[in-house]
Structure 1
Amino acid sequence: MTDTVFEKSHSEHVEQASSSHDGSGHVANIGTDAHGFTADAEELPKGYYYSPFFLGTTVAIGLNLMGSTGGFALVAPVLGQIAVSLDAASSVIWLSLVYTMGLAVGLTLVGRITDTFGRRWFFIGGTALGCIGAIVSSTAKSINVLIGGQVLVGLSASTGYSYAFVIGELVPVKRRFIFNAIIFIFSFPTAGFGAAISTAFILKTSAGWRWAYYLLIILNGLTAILYGVFYFPPTFHQKHGKDHVSKFLRTFDWGGLFLYTAGLVLFILGLSSGDTLYPWVDARVLAPLIIGVLCLIALFVYESYAKLSQPLIPMEFFRNRGWVASMLSLSLGASVYYSQAIVWPQMTANVYAEGRLMWGGVVSSVVGIGITLGEIIGGGFAKHLGHWKLQCLTVITLGTLFLGLAALCKPDTPGMAIAFMMLATTFVGWNEALVLPICTIVIPDQAEIGTAAGVAGSSRSAISTVASTIYSVVLATRTATELGRQVPAAVIRAGLPADSVSAYMAAIAAGAPESLLSKVQGLTPNVIAAGTEAYRYAYTDAYKTIFLVSLAFGGLAIIASFFIPDVDHLMGGKVAATLSGREKEKYTDRTA
């Protein structure tokens, strides 16, 4: 399979398929050509883009992404406050873990299952599930209940992060990038300003962190209603004619589903809990990690050699160089985002904020703002700039360069640090706006667009988790080293007795409460000032290592970009699916 498998004329005849399987196991009762397209742009009904169905669906997809990004971006910045509120310091990290696992597992399942059975009810149900999860979380009185609600929020997020194929299949290929940019605009409040909004909730409302979930209730509930009223993509019977659902349930890849779900959940669970919940040598880390890897290996063997009419993960994707390169560039670029989404807020609080909570919340949003802004710019200008491989190479190289330059920043250069972080994440977001749609364009059969985007999205989550774990381990090691090396020497020079250093360090580690600081013998204003300054420089040196480590992941993304294909010959006016609207309802007479 090559990158030019459907380099045929766009005038190719579209024929009505009967209710029988074609060579790929795909069944169609709607008019499709050899590559899964249903129509040309010129064949769309008049007023298609202005119809309530298309506009309502577009808004639903945008709000869905806003709520899905909010499940992480609104919650992650206030984990400390949640831990204090529910007395759950040791287990609050599970809120991030279950979200990541739900998203990683759900993306492939949503893509593959809805490719087969139709999308409408899965997206209505998925967003309703997110609403229920947010209700459970917002009313939780214990951390276990809150984690349970967050599991539902994470699973629901897989619908929002499926935007690339949900909107992509409804518009001509040449317009997929610009419509992705439109969807990214919707996500700006949560993906961009999530940390600032969460900080405002803490500082300005009596409900505090619970308002993050109140907002998710509103977004998910409204999205479910909009999908129900306006979203009418091809149904199961439009896809498969007179065939019954039971037939596809019998032949569905249940073995692959088990191996995929078990493998990915156990792998991410083991990887994420190492050195955060338990030591790396603990059986509670090693057992799920090893079993998860074995399940994933077994999955690829099973999918490669078992005779499956509906494989969960078609192995031909991994023989498609363009898809693999785009997926890797997407995943490695996202590794930068997820690592900095964790590191940058810490650096802001420990080095630059100096007690200014709201300022720190706003500046912590720079990563999200940069990524989202880059996605909007990239989607908006992608087709006009063309030269896809060169464009991807340029933006990921610039993103990597500026992130590496952030290692030059010092405690007294917050402006430079903000500028470098903003530039780096903007270019990384631009890269994501290019490579994710490319993952849906280079596949030979558009009937599998959901599967292609879903597998790429799951790979993005899994690879990002590996990268984030590496970043976290390196940061923890470097922080302990730098604090132990710089802070004691600084406070002793300022006059603190050597035998008081351990008490001083313990007090600072606990948040510097007056009850502990008052017990530190020999503590003076000069010592406090010297210690504060030493902490800032020690943290800066620790974070500097992370920026340098990021060069390795950025470098791999640059290498992957050399293999991204130019897709100009594929940027035609073909449409993979259309909205039918309610039965007997007509579009307006306005032209599309």
Structure 2
Amino acid sequence: MLQTENGSDAVTKEADECPPSEPSDVPDEALERRAHLHAKTFLAVFAVLLIYFAQLVSLVGAGAQGQTIAAHFGSPTSVVWFTGPITILTVVLGPIFSHAADYWGRKWFLIVPTVLGGAGSIIVGRASSIGMCISGFTVIGIAFGAQPLLHTVTSEVLPRRWRGYGQAADMVSNSTGSIFGLLVGGALNRTNDPESDGFRSYFYIAMAIYFLAAVLCFFAYNPPRTEIQRRLTHREKLANLDWIGYILLAAGLVLFCIALSFFKNPFEFGDPHVAATFAVGLALAVVLIVYETYFKKDGMFHHGLFTGNRNFSLSLFCVFAEGIAFFAANNYFAFQVGVLYETDAVLVGARYSIMLISASAGAVLTGWYCAVFKKVRWATVLAFAIFVAFFACMATSDLETDTPVWGYPVLLGFALGMTLTTLVTVAQLSTPPELIAIASGLIISIRSLGGTIGIAIYNALFNDAMSHMGDNIATAVIPEGLSPDDLGDFIVALTAHNSSALASIPGVTPEVAQAGIVAMLNTYVQGFQHVWTAAACFVALATIVSALLFDPREEFNNRIDAPVEKTSELYDT
């Protein structure tokens, strides 16, 4: 139950009551009677799906175009801080927005962050330096704090039996936004030319989608106020938020990510830049765990979420692993294809789009399966097993596997669509209806936490492999006749893809150039393989853990937790 640790007894009494999950006049037989949904409900769902679409357009822009944007500003090592702020702010703001939305309502916590997403897109589009660009992505990240509420609304305005369909719709919106981003981004800069300003036009388009989504949500989503929203004062509502937990989470996560971003870039782990920052971040995480366990039982890790059954806890672990897996694919699949197999950005986007189309198909089929058979367990196990198969295949890819890599995204897509649909569904059905927003906030934040940690780990592994680039090239070209005195200039010209500078270096023959190119690409192969192997380990463990889930069949009923229509309209015979 919601409690406050400070303030008057009156405040405590008010806060002890959880936000009601549905109006009091909803008939008990609604658990079995079918509601008659109308356009008002479906327009509300569409409005939040468009917000999801906008978020994925900007996320794909930060990921798939990140290398090109960073090179445009002459700071390729800063690419981690394009997606980093987005994932960090999703983790930090998700629980805050989800908890606060129970007291002030969902609507403005959807609209205001979405408008800020549009503002951040403008900043990126007009960026004149790498710092300004990162600032823009940070503002965009605020929009992602509303992501848990997107999953909440698509679930609570529909019958519980349709939870799978609602989460499948979120996944389809996710996929279509990503496909749009990949193809439009590729069309605006087909050769990944760092000098191109195509990314500016891309983020202006993202801005327009954000603003359109905000306007549509304003007019289409108008839920009735709950009793607790009307009764508590603003001061009482603010007192119930988990401010200490939010601060500990934000500080610990940022320091942890900064430490891992410094690792091999250029510091070793024993360097104070890495070790000290990592230690402080880890210490804050330990303090957070102790605080949320013993001192704040109604915060972002609300104890009511964990006292029902084991499904919610297992879902958290599995979605953490899924977040690690998704961000490996989001940041490195298109990167690998662009480096090893394709020079046309549209074809790179087309390959990744195969995954997204498959994800939509997997989500729809899984949503249907959940609704009809009222089961989630073995579908989740199968999804993670498919994840393992994908990463195993990618870990064996090299310069000679161009054709097979066209097919591997099908595995990734089905795994992604299936896991998100089942895990969010089972997590929401395993918690009290009044805690659905907090539960969704925690699920999405833990997923992003997995992505945040995963990105840092992957960048450390990838940078470690790339640190051997010079030695690998030297080993390949010196036996071919290149003078060691010219090696430095050769490496600089080769890695910059500067063919004119390469041709001006004495002793550079076609054989020397080819040997250098192969050595450079094989270094990339090693880096990519390290990433895929690490991701495979995480999802392999999640495959085992997901088998411990059970099917909450009795929760797949016709109850609507927070309808946007009047009860008389829903159940009018």
**What is the aligned counterpart of 1:122 among 109, 118, 124?**
109
**What is the aligned counterpart of 1:343 among 290, 313, 332?**
332
Q: Which residue of 2 aligns with 1:506?
A: 492
In the aligned structure 1, how far is the partner of 2:357 from the partner of 2:479? 41
Q: Which residue of 2 aligns with 1:218?
A: 208
Question: Larger deviation: 204-213 or 257-266?
Answer: 204-213
Shift of 1:401: 1.9
Q: Which residue of 2 aligns with 1:5?
A: none
Q: Which residue of 1 aligns with 2:558?
A: 573
In the aligned structure 2, how far is the partner of 1:228 from the partner of 1:81? 35
Decide whether aligned partners of structure 1 residues 305 and 187 sit closer, same or farther in structure 2, where only a CA change above 3 A counts.
closer
Counting only pairs closer than 5 Å after superposition, residues 321-400 of structure 1 correspond to structure 2 as 321-353=310-342, 355-384=343-372, 386-400=374-388
Q: Which residue of 1 aligns with 2:5?
A: none
| 2:399 is equivalent to residue 411 of structure 1 | yes
Q: Is the 8 A contact 1:124 1:228 kept in 2?
A: yes
Shift of 1:399: 1.9
Q: Which residue of 2 aligns with 1:140?
A: 127
Q: Is the 8 A contact 2:22 2:562 kept in 1?
A: no
TM-score by length of 1: 0.84
Q: Which residue of 1 aligns with 2:18?
A: 26
**What is the aligned counterpart of 2:455 among 463, 468, 477?**
468
**What is the aligned counterpart of 1:305 among 294, 306, 328?**
294
Q: Is the 8 A contact 1:75 1:198 kept in 2?
A: no
**What is the aligned counterpart of 1:198 among 164, 185, 191?**
185
Question: Larger deviation: 136-145 or 454-463?
Answer: 136-145
Q: Is the 8 A contact 1:196 1:364 kept in 2?
A: no
TM-score by length of 2: 0.87
| 2:93 is equivalent to residue 103 of structure 1 | no
Q: Point out where structure 1 has 5 or more consecutive residues left out of the alignment.
A: 2-18
Q: What per-residue deviation string (whole Å, max 9, x for no partner) do you get for residues 385-435 of structure 1?
A: 554222211221122023213333342221212212331342233122211
In the aligned structure 1, how far is the partner of 2:62 from the partner of 2:494? 25
Q: Is the 8 A contact 1:61 1:160 kept in 2?
A: no
Counting only pairs closer than 5 Å after superposition, residues 148-547 of structure 1 correspond to structure 2 as 148-203=135-190, 207-235=197-225, 237-276=226-265, 279-306=268-295, 310-318=298-306, 320-353=309-342, 355-384=343-372, 386-443=374-431, 445-481=432-468, 484-485=471-472, 487-492=473-478, 494-497=480-483, 499-515=485-501, 517-547=502-532
Letter in 2 for 1:434: T
Decide whether aligned partners of structure 1 residues 286 and 530 sit closer, same or farther in structure 2, where only a CA change above 3 A counts.
closer
Q: Is the 8 A contact 2:32 2:558 kept in 1?
A: yes
What do you get for the CA RMSD once the two structures are aligned? 3.4
Q: Is the 8 A contact 1:68 1:161 kept in 2?
A: no
Q: Which residue of 2 aligns with 1:12?
A: none
In the aligned structure 1, how far is the partner of 2:399 from the partner of 2:28? 55
In the aligned structure 1, how far is the partner of 2:454 from the partner of 2:370? 27
In the aligned structure 2, how far is the partner of 1:23 from the partner of 1:158? 24
Q: What per-residue deviation string (whole Å, max 9, x for no partner) do you get for residues 62-88 of structure 1?
A: 111111112211222223332344444
For the residue of structure 2 that corresponds to 1:575, the secondary structure is: coil
**What is the aligned counterpart of 1:563 among 532, 548, 573?**
548
Shift of 1:281: 4.1
Decide whether aligned partners of structure 1 residues 109 and 56 sit closer, same or farther in structure 2, where only a CA change above 3 A counts.
same
Decide whether aligned partners of structure 1 residues 465 and 502 sit closer, same or farther in structure 2, where only a CA change above 3 A counts.
same
In the aligned structure 1, how far is the partner of 2:29 from the partner of 2:296? 28
**What is the aligned counterpart of 1:71 among 51, 58, 72?**
58
For the residue of structure 1 that corresponds to 2:189, the secondary structure is: helix
In the aligned structure 1, how far is the partner of 2:359 from the partner of 2:401? 22
In the aligned structure 2, how far is the partner of 1:146 from the partner of 1:405? 35
Q: Is the 8 A contact 1:267 1:288 kept in 2?
A: yes
Q: What per-residue deviation string (whole Å, max 9, x for no partner) do you get for residues 551-584 of structure 1?
A: 3112111122022221222111111101148xxx
Q: What per-residue deviation string (whole Å, max 9, x for no partner) do you get for residues 436-495 of structure 1?
A: 22111101x11110111111211111122223322222233334447734x444434544
Shift of 1:364: 4.6
In the aligned structure 2, how far is the partner of 1:162 from the partner of 1:113? 11
In the aligned structure 2, how far is the partner of 1:68 from the partner of 1:385? 32
Decide whether aligned partners of structure 1 residues 321 and 276 sit closer, same or farther in structure 2, where only a CA change above 3 A counts.
farther
Q: Which residue of 2 aligns with 1:551?
A: 536
Decide whether aligned partners of structure 1 residues 547 and 144 sit closer, same or farther in structure 2, where only a CA change above 3 A counts.
closer
Shift of 1:513: 4.4
Letter in 1 for 2:311: G
Shift of 1:149: 2.4
